[in-house]
Chain A
Amino acid sequence: MYEDKRAAAPPLQQLTFSLADEEYGVDILVVREIRSWSRVTRIPQTPDYVLGVLNLRGAIVPIMDLRLRFGLQRESYGDDTVVIIVAIAERLFGIVVDAVSDVVDIDPAAIKPVPDMGAVVDTRYLKGLATHVERMVMLLDVEKLMRPEDVETLDAALPAVQDVEVAA
């Protein structure tokens, strides 16, 4: 009976994108739009992976570079650079990826837990691994990318950073 139920679970639609030759997926339901790169306004006192903010029809939306978030380098930003705008709890933010690939159906039953990879990607930001047409897709936990704890730790660290800056 359990088996039946699981089989009946609707497939998860994921928007897949590539980043440093890896394939990632985000839940299509949190994706608001996909747009090409445009210049952002830098914000002071912000980790380097938050590139800045841009004007999204009147909303001031922060943009995060996923490569930088994962500790990789990005060579340049141009017209081909893709920004995926996602919404979590009515907060909008953009993530910069290499390229958007596809929208695929993933069977929830086929999602495997993330092994400790000890590598590039911090596994905390992954929901699980799935296979789609022989390719492994890492399912991104967007919520955790913008976790409040992160923000709090940042805020706590800020005065210290400023002291350094001021003294310098």
Chain B
Amino acid sequence: MSAVDLTQFHKTFFEESREGLDAMEAALLALDSGSTDHELVHTIFRAAHSIKGGAATFGFADVAAFTHVAESLLEEVRSERRAVDSGLIEVLLRSVDCMRAMLERSSLGQPVADAESEALRVELVQLVSGEIAAPAVAAASLVAPVSGWNIAFTALPHLLQTGNDPLRLFRELQQLGRLEVVRAFITDSAPAQLAELDPSQCHLGWELHLHGAVARGDVDAVFDWLDGDCELTIAPMVEPAAADAVPLTSDAPVPPAASASRPIRETATASSEGSSIRVGIDKVDALINMMGELVITQSMLSDIGEKFELSQLGRLRDGLVQLERATRELQESVMRIRMLPIASVFNRFPRLVHDLERKLDKRVRLELHGEHTELDKTVLEKIGDPLVHLVRNAIDHGLESPAQRKAAGKPETGTLKLNAYHEGGNIVVQISDDGAGLNHAAIVAKAQQRGLVAAGQELSDAEVAELIFQPGFSTAAQATDLSGRGVGMDVVRRNVRDLGGSVGVRSASGKGSTFTITLPLTLAIIDGLVTAVGHERYIVPLTSIVESLRLRADAVRKIAGGGEVFHFRDEYLPIMRLHRAFACSDAVTDIERGIVVVIEEDGRRVGLLVDDLLGQQQAVVKSLEAHYRRVQGISGATILSDGSVALIVDVGGVVRLGQHRKAA
């Protein structure tokens, strides 16, 4: 084989292919929404072509074979021999999904072709008219259980000169299934006289039977490199009972022109985005490290500045101002490296909405705003799933069917709006629909049934909305019989909380609902409360803190098992003595002398006993795992202005410890 190790390029190939597929998808959806821009077709074709080329080069024969057929179909569209219709777009969208899945499997080193991809390939082959009709006939039987393949393989004389060796091919075939050589023969091209025989020429042909359920793509792959070096026919050996007809076109319901007006952002942005960030994350992390250092230096200098002699104060202050500015600039520019537009997440929604419309028989107009709002990459990666969840819920439960909407005097097509914007140091993402709104009666009924609310209890709108975020509020049954939204909303809230953000809902009956997610710009810096426990300093993330209070000794009740609880706004909260959980010496043990910080995670609250509160500060989050390991109850570390290390409390972990304690 070649001396170049191609595997080193695989990652890039997969990355580029994914981008190509995204571009194809976006362009297809734009075509579906009525755009007639011919450039879109070219975009799709180009993407398919380069994926095919890459796949063939790097030895992903199945992917290449599949893409080849899709490309043939696209070629017909490009040369205007075939009109674009919803059926075609549907097939091509499914092809994109299929290629995506195939690439995914390739990247994991798994077998690539499966029944689904094979069936789709056959469907595509059948769609392609004209010159490749012949293979289409052969391929039509592919979906049926194939017992094997008849392969007639005749080498052209120059076969050996191109570096091919029939023996190697046979060995490869043998790995696919049981190979039987039915006949081997000498071709007509062979010289009549043995003396004239040129050993570099090949004059042999074979008839082979390959037994076993082997995918056509795998067989094709073996002969992939022999294009023009041999005569080859591959025909299936089919079980007599086989061959159910494959549907010629997709029979997915095609909505009328309603979708024609759907505005979707230009494809130009779709193909250009994402290509900008290929910075090794380690380099980025190193920069962030540097930035953290500078932040620390700056705060150290401020410390000195506060205690410095008066005569020098002016100069020192000037320097400090400069340092501070430099720090801020570096911080901003460094952070910007990790920032990506939220468009990369928003981009999946046109497709999602497109699929859901068909599945749920609803009409949706999707509006995207603020796609260029930038978010930290890590936040971006984790916000996708919650957003998908909310969008799916909005269409499934929020928006009514066209008939219901008409009856309610609303346009048949519902509107789903996604909006991202900056607000203070946060990013706000809003998902709003003009559907029916939360069904208060149904939610309250469900809550009563589950014992979350007492019968007859009056609830405010906000309280009702809050109910849908209750863990376990939703079950599979509710997804169908409840028109409110309960499906996994607690998971959405937890995911958003994990990112240090919050999620809320506003709803008006008959007018729709708006879910608002507020996220920090980045995970690398948090706002924290510095607490003292013995000689140690612990940072408690500000977003998790409900309240801090001093307790009187008589407010504390002991419960069986040695636990302590205290009364806090209609509920009893467990007290977690941080010095005990973290085994700190010299800490305040008298509850009256310490301070209780009430923290909340997932609706569960715990009172954290600390010695003292030292103030609020921004903390640059550092990993403990980089050089040590994960520690339960600790989410990371930070460096204080005196250069010492303070640990950051993992509120979720600590609350779970507290629950543990209650159970014990």
Contacts and interface: CB of A to CB of B under 8 A. Distances in A.
Interface of A: 39-46, 50, 52-55, 57-62, 91-93, 151, 154-155, 158, 162-163, 165-168
B660 interface: yes
B285 to A, nearest CB: 11
B398 interface: no
Nearest to B645: A41
Contacts of B580: 165
Interface in B558-572: 561-562
A162 B645 CA distance: 24
A50 B627 CA distance: 13
Contacts of B581: 44, 165
Given A45-B633, A158-B632, A166-B661, A39 B644 contact: yes
Contacts of A62: 627-628
Contacts of B583: 44, 165
B485 interface: no
B413 interface: no
A77 B361 CA distance: 73
B628 A53 contact: yes
20 contacts: A39-B644, A41-B646, A42-B536, A44-B582, A44-B583, A44-B631, A52-B645, A53-B645, A58-B290, A59-B627, A60-B623, A60-B624, A91-B626, A91-B627, A92-B627, A163-B660, A165-B580, A166-B657, A167-B561, A167-B562
Interface in B468-483: none
Given A58-B639, A60-B637, 18 more contacts: A42-B535, A43-B634, A44-B631, A44-B632, A53-B628, A55-B639, A58-B622, A59-B289, A60-B645, A61-B627, A91-B626, A92-B627, A93-B627, A93-B628, A154-B629, A163-B664, A166-B660, A167-B664
Nearest to B537: A41
B624 A41 contact: no
A39 B646 CA distance: 12
Interface string B604-647: 00000000000000000011101111011110010100011111
Interface string B259-293: 00000000000000000000000000000011011
B627 A60 contact: yes
Nearest 8 pairs of A and B residues by beta carbon: A44-B582, A41-B645, A62-B628, A60-B637, A166-B661, A92-B627, A166-B664, A58-B289
Contacts of A167: 561-562, 664
Contact of B645 (A44, A50, A55): A55
B123 to A, nearest CB: 50
Contacts of A39: 644
Given A41-B647, A60-B645, A151 B629 contact: yes
A52 B293 CA distance: 21
A144 to B, nearest CB: 16
Nearest to B646: A41
A155 B646 CA distance: 22
A68 B534 CA distance: 23
B578 to A, nearest CB: 9
Contacts of B454: none
Contacts of A163: 660, 664
B584 interface: yes
Contact of A60 (B290, B536, B622, B661): B622
Nearest to A39: B644
A43 B562 contact: no
Contacts of A59: 289, 622, 626-627
Nearest to A43: B631
Given A42-B536, A92-B627, A57 B647 contact: no
A53 B637 contact: yes
Interface residues of B, number: 37
B561 A60 contact: no
A43 B647 contact: yes
A165 B657 CA distance: 10
Q: DSSP class of A's interface residues: helix, strand, loop or mixed? A: mixed
B23 to A, nearest CB: 37
B628 A60 contact: yes
Contact of A41 (B292, B536, B632, B664): B536
Contact of A162 (B637, B639, B657): B657
Interface string B103-114: 000000000000
Q: Among A46, A53, A54, A166, find the residue whose CB has the most chain B CB atoms closer than 10 A.
A: A166
B293 A57 contact: yes
A86 to B, nearest CB: 11
Contacts of A151: 629
Contacts of B561: 167
A165 B633 CA distance: 14
Contacts of B582: 42, 44
Nearest to B583: A44
B395 to A, nearest CB: 42
A91 B561 CA distance: 41
A57 B629 CA distance: 19
Interface string B275-314: 0000000000000011011001000000000000000000
Contacts of B624: 43, 53, 60
Q: Among A45, A52, A92, find the residue whose CB has the most chain B CB atoms closer than 10 A.
A: A45
A62 B580 CA distance: 22
Contact of B637 (A41, A57, A92, A166): A41
Nearest to A155: B629
A39 B296 CA distance: 18
A155 to B, nearest CB: 7
Given A55-B639, A60-B637, A167-B562, A45 B628 contact: no
Contact of B660 (A52, A53, A162): A162
Contacts of A43: 624, 628, 631, 634, 647
B643 to A, nearest CB: 6
B633 A44 contact: yes
Contacts of A42: 535-536, 582, 584
Given A55-B639, A57-B293, A58-B622, A45 B629 contact: no
Contacts of A154: 629
A44 B634 contact: yes
Contacts of B537: 41
Contacts of A57: 293
Nearest to A63: B628
B58 to A, nearest CB: 30
Contacts of B645: 40-41, 52-55, 60
B493 to A, nearest CB: 27
Nearest to B628: A62
Nearest to B632: A45
Interface string B20-36: 00000000000000000
A53 B580 CA distance: 19
Contacts of B293: 57-58
Nearest to A50: B628
A42 B639 CA distance: 14
Contacts of A162: 632, 657, 660
A93 B627 CA distance: 7
Nearest to B624: A60
A31 B634 CA distance: 29
A106 to B, nearest CB: 28
